[in-house]
Chains A and B, each alone.
Chain A
Amino acid sequence: MGMTGKERLTALLSGKEVDRIPVLSVCQYVTYGLMEKTGAYWPEAHYDGEKMARLSAGGAEILHLDAVRVPYCQTVEAEIYGSAIKDGGRTHLPSIAKPAFSLGEEPRIPENFTAKGRIPAVLDAIRRLKQTVGAETLVMGSLVGPFSVAANIIGVSALLKASLRKPEQLVPYFEAAEKTAEQYAQAIIDAGADAIVIEDMMASLDMISPKTYRVMAAPYEKQLIDFIGGRVPVIIHICGKLDQVMKDVAATGAAAISVESAVDIPAAKEEFRQAGITTPILGAVHPIDVLLEGSREDVREAVQQSVAAGVDAISPDCAIAPDTPLENLLELTKAAAELDL
């Protein structure tokens, strides 16, 4: 008898042996097909804990992933700070319409942060997922990293420009975002999640320099992970070609690092080996080239390539496009399950 998905990922995240390579989607995995199969649809599933749980549970019940996660978008925190959110309707994710603050304004931390906005629905969904699929599947609560929350509350352009010109002006936003991330993480742990995903998509080298990552993103990621303190394992996800900062990402103390296929994974593994770093690397199947546009054969090949490159678990590079064909996602789990380690 093999391990359950939960046992498998728990083992991986605590440095133990696994029976086969785990497969999950660290970032959002909802597709139109999954909505049809579960009968839970966007946009309602962003606001309603029961629908959110039902749709996410499809990750286990239909896609056979080793983990499920909530929520789907990256706007939950920013909305509570007062950023205007544009609803994505049935087909798209909510996005930031207007950031809450202008650079220089004091970032007020909303009181009772975790009782506001969509956080109660996310927490409700976590509790439900623990009941429905949690016995065999890892239930992950996902929050947005402090650097990226700051980008969502003052605007990406303003943040990026200030990161060169007026970095000191950004510190209050990072500090506020880190504090509220601690509160949110605590609530996710209290709701019973088995793991936390930190998505810090803006802390990518597609966006900022390695120096900016080290000074403005990594310290707050680390502070948040220190706060979580190993009570649940943390998977950190950062997009883009991270080669120059992989060791810095590992130094945040995350239990695993989720990366894109843009990263030279064999080089990162070798760098880790030499430095005595054992942090697993998760990835790296391209959500567009392979999962959206590829054939099932392409998916199978990408899974094999990822394993050959040295990933410790199979995961798409980042969020899955909602029009991704279901059969490709099914192939992802099937191909991983059939691999001999």
Chain B
Amino acid sequence: MADKDILSELKQSILDFDEDAALELAQESLAQGIDPVEAVGVLADGLNELGVKFERMEVFLPEIMLASDAFKNALSVLEPEIKKKNTEGKKAIPIVIGTVQGDIHQVGKDMVATFLATAGFEVYDLGVDVAPSRFLEEAKRLGAKVIAAASLMSTTRPVQKDLIDFLEAKGVRDQFIVLVGGGVVTQEWADQIAADGYGQDAIATVNLAKRLLHVA
């Protein structure tokens, strides 16, 4: 059936990290009346498959970055449709996310942001090199209860602690759920700095956020 074809092509566009095809196929899938949640599902399958190959060192970071671009392209078309549907139900939960001050690594944080968005969270991506004060300002402004902070360097990991200390100093620590992640971050570190959770990868972070916020 046409449905199946377009979904498998959509997935293939991720495996081929083809941005243009991903966009066109996402539009095509909507035109054919395919559920956008299902379309995002196959895109995520594609990313996961690449993720497994990445773990095995069969594909490398540039492929993942381009696939992530392709994913975002498709998502730019699919996400508004999903939101339309979501607003029919309950309001999405806002989350602010960023890479900590002094650290400009983007890819992993982007991946987590994307997965959180597709899981139905209202994600505000503050970008990279985000100061503790900015995490707090934006979270307040946006009414976000969750702050997700990534660190990808041994030299910037202490900034995750700075963030938590900053929230403590401002007397607002208990108002936020702070999630930490990134290549140099461990559960042990998260425990040590009294973060509320540690997300080892994008999918784990989504599950963690859902669990901590009591959403199924």
Chain A interface residues toward B at CB < 8 A: 86, 88, 91-93, 95-97, 156-157, 160-161, 163-165, 205-209, 212, 241, 244, 287-289, 292-293, 318-323
Contacts and interface: CB of A to CB of B under 8 A. Distances in A.
Contacts of A157: 65, 106-107
Contacts, number: 78
Given A95-B102, A95-B104, A208 B66 contact: no
Contacts of A320: 154
B89 interface: no
A88 B62 contact: no
Given A157-B106, A288-B186, 5 more contacts: A157-B65, A164-B62, A208-B61, A241-B57, A292-B154
Given A163-B62, A293-B188, A205 B57 contact: yes
Contacts of B188: 293
Interface string B47-81: 00000000001011111011001000000000000
Nearest to A321: B154
A156 B104 CA distance: 9
15 contacts: A92-B158, A95-B104, A97-B129, A156-B105, A157-B107, A164-B17, A164-B62, A165-B66, A208-B61, A209-B62, A288-B186, A293-B192, A321-B155, A321-B158, A323-B158
Interface residues of B, number: 30
Contacts of A292: 154
Given A160-B65, A288-B184, A209 B60 contact: yes
A239 to B, nearest CB: 10
A208 B60 CA distance: 6
A85 to B, nearest CB: 11
Contacts of A86: 102, 129
B154 A287 contact: yes
Interface string B159-196: 10000000000000000000000001010110010000
B101 A92 contact: yes
Nearest to B162: A91
Interface of B: 17, 57, 59-63, 65-66, 69, 101-107, 129, 153-159, 184, 186, 188-189, 192
B154 A288 contact: yes
Contact of A321 (B61, B103, B157): B157
Given A86-B129, A157-B106, A160-B61, A92 B156 contact: yes
Nearest to A164: B62
B129 A95 contact: yes
Given A164-B66, A165-B66, A205-B60, A293 B189 contact: yes
B129 to A, nearest CB: 7
Contacts of B158: 91-92, 321-323
A318 B184 CA distance: 12
A259 to B, nearest CB: 15
Contacts of B155: 92-93, 319, 321-322
B154 A319 contact: yes
A292 to B, nearest CB: 7
Contacts of A92: 101-102, 155-156, 158-159
Contacts of B189: 288, 293
Contacts of B153: 319
Contacts of B184: 288
